[in-house]
Amino acid sequence: MFKELDPLLHSQLRLAIMSLLMSVDSAEFTFIKEQTGATAGNLSVQIDKLSEAGYIEVTKSFKGKKPLTTCAVTKKGLSAFENYVNALKQYINK
């Protein structure tokens, strides 16, 4: 039987966000937006979902006078990502 694919991660945009965050300490909203090509609205929604699941930590502050949203993956998020990748391999490795 096939392992279940965490629906929170099995989404192109959320997976891209997580993928990005895997390789950095933290990333700004605008950077993620650029890298993923997502609209701000969509990104905002998906970041919220990852945040509410405890997969990422979102910090809102200011860069000078502009709002600054920074995201970083949590231990829980890292573990979920690894699990997801692991499950996925069952589907794609021949």
Q: What is the dihedral of CA 85, 39, 20, 84, to 10 degrees?
A: -10
61 interacts with its own copies by CB under 8 A: no
Interactions with DNA, residue window 19-78 (CB under 7 A): 28-30, 38-49, 60, 63-69
Please name which of 89, 78, 63 lies closest in space to residue 23, comparing C-alpha atoms: 78
10 interacts with its own copies by CB under 8 A: yes
Where does this chain bind its own copies (CB under 8 A)?
1-2, 4-5, 7, 10, 12, 15-16, 19, 22-23, 35-37, 84-85, 88, 90-92, 94
